[in-house]
Structure 1
Amino acid sequence: MAKINLRDYYPFYNADLFIDIPDEVAAVLVETERLERNYIRRMFWNKA
């Protein structure tokens, strides 16, 4: 089980709140964050 901080995903949390999630869900969250960063990088690179 992976441990994530909900403060990283939800801006309305003022303090750290750690929860345990399955490894598959953690992998999807990491992949989604990576894809979003790459999309933003491509958007600036192509001046779209």
Structure 2
Amino acid sequence: MLFTVSHSPYHCDLSALLRLVTSEDAILFLQDGVMAVLKNSESLNLLLK
């Protein structure tokens, strides 16, 4: 399944999303969602666990 994140990581629950995602899924970051994958961000560290 393809999940899209278009909201700032400060306005969405990435932890909840990660509970739903499996290794076969993909996450596409758009618009403000791109802030979640900025280098050294807290959100990126959460995603890489």
Give the TM-score taking structure 1 as reference length.
Answer: 0.26
Structure with a larger share of its residues in helix: 1
Q: Which has the higher contact order (CA 8 A, sep 6+)?
A: 2
